[in-house]
Amino acid sequence: MTATNGITVRPLSGAMGAEVGGVDLTRALDNETADAIHRAFLDHIAIFIPVADLPAERMQAIVARFGEPLAHPYLKPVPGAPFVHELRKTPREEINFGNVWHQDFTNLERPSLANALYSRVVPSHGGDTLFANMHAAYEGLSPGMQALLEGLRAVHGFSEKYKQDIRDQEARDGVTKRDDGHATYTSEAIERTFTHPVVRSHPETGLKALYVNPGFTLRFADMSVAESAPLLDFLYRHAVRPEYTYRHSWRADVLGIWDNRASMHYAINDYTGQLRVMHRMVVLESEPPV
């Protein structure tokens, strides 16, 4: 554990993740405290800060310091915080949100820089989130594989299942705009794709990371889906080797923020019959990945 000016940083695994203590997030952060939190975020990729009863507007102010807030295109914002939305799984629901390895919004030209969850209600057991360190996954590849991947780009977009889920929700809700006026996905938007490097350099640390994920990567550029599948499947299996991963067990009243440029995550669906309520926010990168 390290401590600076009363702020503690306790690593949670060998791969990634740390708990940050000695911080009162219910008050405005001074620059020194904000810098210490950001340093822990870069060093550990995912950080978790206990804070009781964090209002959505305070969460929004904190997470917005990391990047440009995303107005989610179809999930409704919570009152008073247009960039924060609720993920609620009731005891009667069987499907949960994010139940696949992914990096959020890599289907955009400027993907997610960071994601944040605040745990409001957690089940008595289950509902953990898995994380994979994509820096470590890259470093664990052979020099020959690293050299091969350096020259590749991948096409990112919505899977056919994800596109149908969006269409179904739009048809069910009968709306094309959120309550706050932000447009939802259009038919053109859900078909749009962007290419990103398969190996990217982190804009703040300079570290290289694998940048493909089962949730949004469709194929390699200039290759077919069938041609791309064997290598992509290998990379997905490689990236989630146990030594590259961390499993976070949520307690109530914890703010988690993770670096989407350097990690994948997976929401485990193993708490059927229980209630789980999380507040979520996403901030975007300022430039496309390189």
The residues assigned a catalytic role are: 102, 104, 265, 280
Residues 112, 103 contacting (CB under 8 angstroms):
yes
Query: In the beta sheet, which residues pair with residue 265?
Result: 102, 131
Helix (H) or strand (E) holding 60: helix 56-63
Look-up: residue for tokens 């949670």? 12
Look-up: residue for tokens 């089962």? 214
Q: Which two tokens stand for residue 157?
A: 């977009």
Distances from the Cα of 61 to the Cα of 10, 79, 189, 222, 271, angstroms: 24, 14, 28, 41, 31
- Say which amino acid occupies 142: S
- Contacts with 267 (C-beta within 8 Å, 6 or more apart), sequence order: 96, 97, 98, 99, 127, 129
DSSP string over 150-217: HT-EEEE---HHHHHHHHHHHHHHT-SB-TTS-B---HHHHH--EEEESEEE-TTT--EEE---TTTE
Helix (H, G, I), strand (E, B) or coil at 36: helix
Residue 19 backbone dihedrals phi, psi, to 5 degrees: -100, 130
Helix (H, G, I), strand (E, B) or coil at 146: helix
What are the strands of the beta sheet with 217-220, ordered from one edge? 194-197, 153-156, 217-220
- Say which amino acid occupies 176: T
